[in-house]
Amino acid sequence: MFEAINSIIWSLQSVAFAEPKTDTGLETIKSIIWLIPTLPLAAAFLNGFIALTFLRSKPKSELTATQRGLRYLTSTIGILAIAAALLVSLIVLFFLIGQDKEHKLIQVENIYTWIPSGDFNIKVGFNVDPLTSMMTVVVTTISLLVHIFSTGYMREESGYHRFYTYLPFFTFSMLGLILVNNFLLLYVFWEAVGLSSYLLIGYWFSKKYDWGRLLPSDASKKAFIVNRVGDFGFGLGIMWIFVVMLNHAEGAAKGFDRLNYQNVFQVFEEGSKTGAIDHNTITIIAILLFMGAMGKSAQMPLQVWLPDAMAGPTPVSALIHAATMVTAGVYMVGRVNPIFSLSPEAMTFVAVIGILTAFFGSTVGTTQKDIKAVMAYSTVSQLGYMFFALGVLGWVAAFFHLMTHAFFKGLLFLGCGSIIHSNEETIHEALHKMHLVVKDHNLAEEIEHAIHHDVDPQDMDNMGQLIKKMPLTGWSMVVGAAALAGVPFTAGFWSKDEILGQAFAHGQYPIYIVGLFAALLTAFYSFRMIFSVFFSGDYRLPKAMNRAVARAGGVNAVEFVAQGRKTKPNQVEVIAKESTKNMTFPLVFLGFMSIAAGYVGLPRSIFGGLSVFDSFLEATFEPAFAQVAPKETSAWLTVILLILSGAIALTGVAIAYYMYHQNRDVAPYRARRIAGPLYTISKNKWYFDEAYDLLLVKSGLLFERSLWLFDRYVIDGAVNGTGWVTRQSANYLRKVQTGFVGNYALYITIGLVGVIGLFYLINGI
């Protein structure tokens, strides 16, 4: 199989580039790289223009035929632009694959000077190496699939065009983040993805009720602000780098870009070798930079925003909050590996944060009922995996997992979207029928209201047996979950095992064990989701709806039953349907990738040169490997580890099977009772939100309010007090002004006598 893939890759490359190493090829590549981010940007501008000029925020039903056409035009523009960007990225990727190890770096420098200011010069340019190239392909692929998926998912939205303005804009920002060659520009796009994430989480800003979850308008704000906490450190880190560069790149020519990656890496490497740059400085800079990664990639203790970010539309969760944007932190650490690798302390810090987060995410994921929350915590946990992989110096392993994770988590989220969409459509149609059955208009309204309020289309308790109704979604999600769980021979199996293997190879046994435990939990919760949603027992949605009916007091008026069970006239069938093709196609494609993507990075100690991923990415991590040479477990140990982690995964699946397939009505509750407080802590996400609310939000507001009081009464009080004193003293003094001319004359005389007296007093008589 891998041989086949390998040969396909090689042949593709030889087709695309007959002479890969000629300069003209390089020049051509250099001249097309700018297209990768610019095409989505152009699409975003175009769509934004169409949206603001022609469509506004009118609902779909109010649009004219032309406007509807324009509405679909926006999605078409988006899809075409991303597809073109994907094409260019692929060309660049294959070009790079064909290059020697020494030539795997394309630099497009000095497109223009962004900030020309004294010794602070920032020049815009691109820096394309294997890591970059791999990331652009992953991002554009997932983005394209999400664009396609959303044409179905967002079909009925009145803000369809708005969505297709934000989505290409995000893609632009993400691609910019990956491609730029400069720390400050990295920061720029870092913030730009933050903005698009903010806009997309807040897409449904007018939502008033979300079944107890944080509302989009709050969640988006939270995401941005928590990210800013990370950026606080990131920005300081960049400034510090600049200062170090000033100290150590003195004789540089005018216009020298002191934040350019290559310049910085060179100075840091030399400075650290000669000892000119203090080791602690490097450590602190690395940790400051990592703060940014902690924010963006939702690492503890800044992970709180990501689960709430699920308030955005589900395709957005798939693209931004699972597959691409949240991996920006991982990308950044990988990109800055020449600095990070200089400081073992910083790497340990990264590893500890990573493993903590991985553990945290997997524990919380096991108890969530909301299908998207499970996936969100799973993402947190998997990002933790990537970070501890980086921390234990498994550079390539981290990015291998990043890639496979992008595919299978993108798949799982899009699958969730498909399920939620289907559930919503199902409820919508059932309610439509209900209105025909229930004659009493007010009662029907009550029932509809109750169902809208009670029946959460994302709650796994309301699902079951969906595999029969939605086979394509179901089976592709099973593949995705298997990959997430690390079931043998899926992509996730290979990548997760490589991470654990790296932890083992570098002798980080505690991390290895915690990682293994987290893997067990991961397997458990992913299949918990699969079994509760797609298999186990019966279809639960009608039951949940009936409960809501009972609450609304309409028990006899209507009853919801599953498909094909209708016997009485007051019964309404609840018919779940598979999603449309534009939604299932991305799922199936990603399902394929969730298996296939694993075979580019097979363990090298067993399969040797077949591991093209390793050899491709090695060029990027050359500086890191120069510090600590890559380690690998020997072949037989690798096999043992593979078997061990496969067994762990299967154990997790088996537990899930027992609890959620065989005994879904009993086992979970029994387990909950046994776990006791552990369950409560996990269910409440370790009480992070509550703690922050108390420590930062509430007390912060208190502090700010008292500061305002201080402003009004002390500072402004002093100002107004001056005025008051002036007025009061004037009030007293004005009594001298009697208005009688005689008095004034007297004052004049007294004054005159006084002056003359003083004159003589001083000068003598």
Partner 1 sequence: MIPVSWYLIFSAVLFAIGLTGVLTRRNVLIIFMCVELMMNAVNLTLVAFARSFGTVHFAGDAFVIFVVTVAAAEAAVGLAIIVSLARQQESIDADQIDLLKE
Partner 2 sequence: MFLLSTMTYLPLLGALLIMLLPKKSDNLIRWVALLTTLVVFGLSIYTILGFNQDSKGYQYEEYYKDWIPSIGSGYHMGVDGVSVLMVLLNGFLFVLAIIASWKPIQTRVREYYVSMLLLYVGLMGVFCALDFFLFYIFWELVLIPMALLIGIWGGPRRVYAAVKFFLYTLVGSLLMLLAIIALYFQYYDLTKTNTLDIPTITKIAPQFSETFQFWAFLAFALAFAIKVPLWPFHTWLPDAHTEAPTAGSVILAGNMLKMGCYGFIRFNLPLFPDASKTLAPLMIGLAVIAIIYGALVAIVQPDMKRLVAYTSVSHMGFVILGLFSFAYGLRGKASGQTTDVLLRDNSAAFDGAVFTMFSHGLLTGGLFLCVGVIYDRLHTRDIKTIQDTTRVANRMPAYAAIYMLYTMGSLGLPMISGFVGEFLAMQGAFRVNGWIAFGTSFAIILAAIYMLWLYQRVIWGKPADYELATGHDDHGHGHGHATPAAQVTPAPTQASSKKADLKWLYQSIVLEPEDNDSSAAASHGTPAESHTDSHDNDHGHGHGGDKDLKENGAKFPDLNLGEWLTLYPMGIAAVVLGVFPGLVLNFLHKPAEQITAIFVNHADLAATLLQQVGK
**Between residue 48 and residue 77, which ones bind partner 2 under the rule CB under 8 A?**
48, 51-52, 56-57, 59-62
* CA-based radius of gyration for the chain: 32
**Where do the H-state alpha helices sit in 393-457?**
395-437, 441-454
64 burial type by CB count under 10 A (0-12 exposed, 13-18 middle, 19+ buried): exposed
Rounded least distance, CB 746 to partner 1, Å: 6
Q: Is 215 in the site for partner 2 (CB under 8 A)?
A: yes
705 binds, among partner 1, partner 2, none (CB under 5 to 8 A by kind): partner 2
* Member of 553, 704, 744, 760 binding partner 2 (CB under 8 A): 704
Count the residues of the shown chain that bind partner 2, applying the rule CB under 8 A: 86
Q: Is 253 in the site for partner 2 (CB under 8 A)?
A: no
Binding mask 531-560 for partner 2 (x = CB under 8 A): ------------------------------
Amino acid at 286: A
Cβ atoms 523, 651 nearer than 8 A: yes
Distance of CA 365 to the CA centre of its chain: 17
* Member of 1, 555, 647, 715 binding partner 2 (CB under 8 A): 715
Rounded to whole angstroms, the maximal C-alpha distance in the chain is 130
What gap in Å lies between CA 667 and CA 684, rounded to an integer? 21
Q: Tokens standing for 687? A: 């009480």
For helices 328-335 and 371-391, the axis angle rounded to 10 degrees is 10
Rounded least distance, CB 52 to partner 2, Å: 5
Rounded least distance, CB 693 to partner 2, Å: 14
Rounded least distance, CB 614 to partner 2, Å: 35
DSSP 256: -
Helix/strand/coil (H, E, C) string of 457-479? CCEHHHCCCHHHHCHHHHHHHHH
Q: Tokens standing for 16? A: 């695309």
Q: Based on CB atoms, which residue is closest to partner 1, 676 or 739?
A: 739
Residues found in the chain: 765
* Member of 718, 742, 763, 765 binding partner 1 (CB under 8 A): 742
What gap in Å lies between CA 615 and CA 630, rounded to an integer? 12
| 679 contacts: CB under 8 Å, gap ≥ 6 | 367, 671, 672
Q: Based on CB atoms, which residue is closest to partner 2, 229 or 575?
A: 229
Bridge partners, 108 (sequence order): 126
Q: Is 221 in the site for partner 2 (CB under 8 A)?
A: yes
**Between residue 29 and residue 48, which ones bind partner 2 under the rule CB under 8 A?**
48
Q: Is 737 in the site for partner 2 (CB under 8 A)?
A: no
Rounded least distance, CB 740 to partner 1, Å: 6
Q: Based on CB atoms, which residue is closest to partner 2, 48 or 480?
A: 48
554 φ, ψ to 5°?
-125, 35
* Member of 678, 702, 725, 745 binding partner 1 (CB under 8 A): 745
Listed ranges 169-177, 364-372, 710-718, 742-750: which one lies at the site for partner 1 (CB under 8 A):
742-750
**Between residue 112 and residue 131, which ones bind partner 2 under the rule CB under 8 A?**
112-120
What gap in Å lies between CA 148 and CA 51, rounded to an integer? 19
DSSP string, 700-729: HHHHHHHHHHHIIIIIHHHHHHHHHHHHHH
**Where do the H-state alpha helices sit in 470-508?**
471-485, 491-505
Can you point out the beta strands (E) in 726-765?
Answer: none
Q: Based on CB atoms, which residue is closest to partner 2, 113 or 743?
A: 113
* Member of 101, 738, 755, 757 binding partner 1 (CB under 8 A): 738
420 binds, among partner 1, partner 2, none (CB under 5 to 8 A by kind): partner 2
118 binds, among partner 2, partner 1, none (CB under 5 to 8 A by kind): partner 2
* Member of 109, 218, 578, 693 binding partner 2 (CB under 8 A): 218
H helices, E strands: number in the chain: 34, 4
Listed ranges 605-613, 699-707, 708-716, 740-748: which one lies at the site for partner 1 (CB under 8 A):
740-748
**Between residue 683 and residue 702, which ones bind partner 2 under the rule CB under 8 A?**
701
Q: Tokens standing for 104? A: 């795997």
Q: Is 720 in the site for partner 1 (CB under 8 A)?
A: no
Tokens 């969409």 belong to 421
**Between residue 419 and residue 448, which ones bind partner 2 under the rule CB under 8 A?**
420-421, 424, 428, 441-442, 445, 448
Q: Is 749 in the site for partner 1 (CB under 8 A)?
A: yes
573 binds, among partner 2, partner 1, none (CB under 5 to 8 A by kind): none
Q: Based on CB atoms, which residue is closest to partner 1, 564 or 742?
A: 742
Q: Based on CB atoms, which residue is closest to partner 2, 283 or 526?
A: 283
Residue 688: closest CA among 300, 250, 412, 406: 300
Q: Is 755 in the site for partner 1 (CB under 8 A)?
A: no
Rounded least distance, CB 236 to partner 2, Å: 6
* Member of 737, 762, 764, 765 binding partner 1 (CB under 8 A): 737
What gap in Å lies between CA 529 and CA 660, rounded to an integer? 9
Give contact residues for partner 1 (rule: CB under 8 A): 737-742, 745-746, 749
